[in-house]
Structure 1
Amino acid sequence: IFICAGVVHPKAIEYLKGRNLVITQKVLAFPYYINLKDFSYAAVGLSVAHTLSYLATYLSHKNIIFIGQDLAYAENGNSHPDDYQNSANYESQMYEHILTTAYGGNGKVETHSIWLLFKNWFENEMIPNTRKMGITTYNCTEGGARIKGAIEKPFLWACENLLDKDLNKPFEKLEPLSLNKQNEFLLKAYYKVCKS
């Protein structure tokens, strides 16, 4: 299943044509106003990793595996991969550099205030709460900033030890809303917007 935020580039949707795809929207006031709040919760979070952590929790997964959560500048000072659309050093001069503990606990790496916000949310909100629910969080990024409370393991280890060979999960089959039900929601929303 591919889960995309409503603000995803249209090309992403084009590339995923014919696949199982869910498009979510951010939790904003408008869905509540038009009484579509039941369709607005899937995209909670500051980043993709935050959103998927919530989703994994709601789906009662026992393990959450982070990859790509560097939350720090590369050794060469780049903020993004070389092929990033806005340039590899897109955020390199945008923010003040702040030192934080490196992955593995040995030494320091440079980060910035937004990445620290993401890191602090994982450490102070998500990981303590999911731990109470019996969910273990692994940081398999193999670099960047340490995320306290996450167990640091190589990604290969996570694949070999945590991923079930039998991926036949007993998920309930979800059916899309009928066209009549979709139209009913649209008409009610349209009426509410026009009335205001």
Structure 2
Amino acid sequence: DSFEGITQLLHNLPYQLANPSLKDLLKQRKDKIENAIVVSTGPSLIKQLPLLKEYANKASIICADTAYPILAKHNIKPDYVLALERHDLVYQCFEQDNQEFDKDILFIIASVAHKSVIDALEKTKKPYILVHRPLPFSKALHMDDYGYLGTGMSVANMAYELAVKLGHKNIILIGQDLAYDENGNSHPKEYLHTQESENDRKEGLFITAYGGNGKVETNMCWDIFRKTFQRDIELVKKINITTYNATEGGARIEG
């Protein structure tokens, strides 16, 4: 993972330097909008889309890379689309040429992304910036002026971190199940990599369900993401940021 990330970061460096930085973004947009909605691709997402569409102009919409094709299909325009992963499948989220729809969307990509992601963004003329995660090699480049994003292990954790850095006072989570649904599927039907894409990770791990009612099945990775959310939620309470889990399903996220 580390070697792959280092190799891909070095390939992507010219593209990072040729585009604005995270610091530029925060300088322009910090503290401008009170509400943010972080959109993930848990099985509960689809039922929330009509309500999201209704309130889309009342909040910043920050979505995971795999949520972007679903939102595009339902004609819900996010403000930011984020990608964190190193593997080459990520480009599939961005290969559709949606130039009219993509206007005013900013794609924020971790600098460790596979070159196919950059190729897809360039080919479809999507406006994007690259951000370093605060990993040892990235920090060794001394590009602190560009800012860092992606301390957590999931793209949803990264989206939440961006919402905090942009100064949103209310952060609403949807599609953040972090658990399998009642049919045992990991994602919604519309998910790019199939609704069963993480079904092979099941290991009989059960945790408290949304609302504190009963138990749901999760996996080790999702439980790490959940604990990262809980840590961050507690930290940002100290700066008067309130987090609402409006997923209405999946695992309970404390705080």
| TM-score, normalization by structure 2 | 0.51
Deviations 1:116-156 (A, max 9, x none): 11111222x1111111110000111121111111xxxxxxx
Aligned counterpart, 2:237: 131
* Shift, 1:56, TM fit: 1.9
2:121 corresponds in structure 1 to 13
Distance 1:139 1:11 in 2: 35
Q: 1:75 to 1:130 in 2, by over 3 A?
A: same
Name the SS for the 2:148 alignment partner: coil
Residue in structure 1 matched with residue 31 of structure 2 by the alignment: none
- Matched to 1:132, the amino acid is K
- 1:48 positional shift: 1.6
2:116 paired with 1:2: no
Structure 1: distance between partners of 2:212 and 2:124? 39
Distance verdict in 2 for CA 1:66–1:32, change over 3 Å: same
Offset at 1:107? 1.9
Contact map agreement 2:173 2:245 (CA 8 A) in 1: yes
Residue 189 of structure 2 is aligned to residue 82 of structure 1 = yes
Within the candidate set 141, 160, 172, 1:34 is matched to: 141
Could you say what the CA RMSD is over the residues aligned between the two structures, in angstroms? 2.3
Amino acid at match of 2:163: A
In the TM superposition, what is the alpha-carbon distance from 1:11 to its structure 2 partner?
A: 6.4
Which structure 1 segments of 5+ residues have no match? 150-196
Change (3 A) 1:11 1:141: farther
Q: Which amino acid aligns with 1:23?
A: L
Q: Matched residues in 2 for 1:97 and 1:18: separation?
A: 41
Distance 2:238 2:212 in 1: 24
Residues 18-51 of structure 1 deviation map (CA, whole Å, 9 limit, x = unaligned): 54x3222322222332322333512322112211
> How far apart are residue 15 of structure 1 and its match?
7.5
Partner of 2:216: 109
Structure with more relative contact order (C-alpha pairs < 8 Å, separation 6 or more): 2
The 3-state SS of whatever aligns with 2:221 is helix
Residues 1:148 and 2:250 aligned together: no
Q: Is the 8 A contact 1:73 1:144 kept in 2?
A: yes
Q: Any gaps of 5 or more consecutive residues in structure 2?
A: 1-105
Counterpart of 2:152, as a letter, is G
Given that residues 31 and 40 in structure 1 are in contact (C-alpha distance below 8 angstroms), is that contact kept between their aligned partners in structure 2?
A: no
Deviates more, 1:21-30 or 1:67-76: 21-30
Using the TM superposition, give the Cα deviation of residue 16 of structure 1 relative to its aligned residue in structure 2, in angstroms: 6.2
Whichever of the two has the greater Rg, that structure is 1
CA contact 1:67–1:139 (8 Å) conserved in 2: yes
1:176 corresponds to = none
Q: Matched residue of 1:93: which SS? A: helix
Q: Quick one: distance in 2 between partners of 1:84 and 1:34?
A: 36
Question: In structure 2, the residue corresponding to 1:35 is in which secondary structure?
Answer: coil
Provide the rounded CA distance (Å) in 1 between the counterparts of 2:131 and 2:141: 16
Greater helix share, structure number: 2
1:50 aligns with: 157
Residue 84 of structure 1 aligns to a residue whose secondary structure is coil
Runs of 4+ in 1 over 4 A off after TM superposition: none
